[in-house]
Structure 1
Amino acid sequence: MDIWEKMYLKAKEEYRPQEVTPFLYAHHVVCALESENGEIYTGFCVESCCGVMDLCAERVAALNMYVNSGQTVIKRLIVFRDQEPREGGDDIPCLACREFLLQLSPRNKDIEIMTDYPERKVKRLEELVPDWWGWKRYRESGQDQDAN
């Protein structure tokens, strides 16, 4: 079993779409990520009638990683709905998640994101956000693109 299969199976355990209340829907998008030290963290999407309270599976998994271990660097990420990612995958993670992941650590530009599970195709986050506005702020703060 390769790391991608292990991550896929961990995330799949979270997939169980449910209406929590008439206002909240959860577990319909799931994510697993591998942290820098090799641990796997999962997350699921929570959507509400009030969009500002929505949380994507990727951000929940990254927050789980940070809260439980203090880590901010992610090596790999897989996110999907009812089946594994196939062909393309340029729309996942969403723009808000891409932004959050880069703000979490400049090293997250190198995250491998699964875009086609059967073919084991990946893209790096930096490919999805090639000219991110935040690099200037990292440089000005003394942290360059390769800093922690």
Structure 2
Amino acid sequence: MSIWNELYQAAGSVQNARSISPFIDAGGVAAAILTKNGNIYVGVCIDTASTLGMCAERNAIANMITHGESKIDKVVAVMPDGSVGSPCGACREFMMQLDKDSGEIEILLDLETQKAVQLKELIPDWWGKDRFAESSNKTMQ
């Protein structure tokens, strides 16, 4: 089984669309991330009436950070219809801010063909790359 299929199955194992309350729905979208250390973390979307919810990708990333990691290798998001989807702009931005090499994160776009793109292709000319360089220079002084 390919790593993409493994990540797809991991996300699918937590996908469970449900209403939490009259204000919150969860689990329609699920995501799995593979870290550079080889660990898999999952998360589901949490949609709220007040827009304070969280996408599945950011939920999985929060799980990863909770467990002491911060470097992502691959991301899979499973949509309510079972297809895979690309992260929203907020998730793309969040991932880019994690690490200077986040542009290299691979994102699955099609499970059947295993087509993937790197995050830097989805968010070209990212505004924050110079800040990573500045941060590196400050720590070296």
Q: Which TM-score band (shorter chain)?
A: over 0.9
> Retained in 2: the 8 A contact 1:32–1:42?
yes
> Retained in 2: the 8 A contact 1:8–1:84?
no
Aligned pairs, number:
136
Deviation of 1:36 (Å): 0.6
1:45 alignment counterpart: 45
Is residue 105 from structure 1 mapped to residue 99 from structure 2 by the alignment? yes
1:84 alignment counterpart: 83
Please give the residue correspondences for 1:114-125 in structure 2 after superposition, counting only pairs within 5 Å.
114-125=108-119
1:72 alignment counterpart: 70
Q: Distance in 1 between matches of 2:59 and 2:117?
A: 21
Q: Distance in 2 between matches of 1:137 and 1:108?
A: 13
Moved more, 17-26 or 76-85: 76-85
Q: Distance in 1 between matches of 2:7 and 2:78?
A: 11
Q: Distance in 2 between matches of 1:127 and 1:120?
A: 17
Is residue 62 from structure 1 mapped to residue 61 from structure 2 by the alignment? yes
Q: Distance in 1 between matches of 2:102 and 2:53?
A: 22
Moved over 6 A (4+): none
5+ unaligned residues in a row in structure 1: which ranges?
144-148
5+ unaligned residues in a row in structure 2: which ranges?
none
Deviation of 1:59 (Å): 0.5
Using structure 1 for the length normalisation, give the TM-score. 0.88
Q: Distance in 1 between matches of 2:91 and 2:100?
A: 14
Q: Distance in 1 between matches of 2:19 and 2:43?
A: 17
Deviation of 1:105 (Å): 1.1
Deviation of 1:84 (Å): 2.8
1:146 alignment counterpart: none
Residue type at the aligned position of 2:116: V
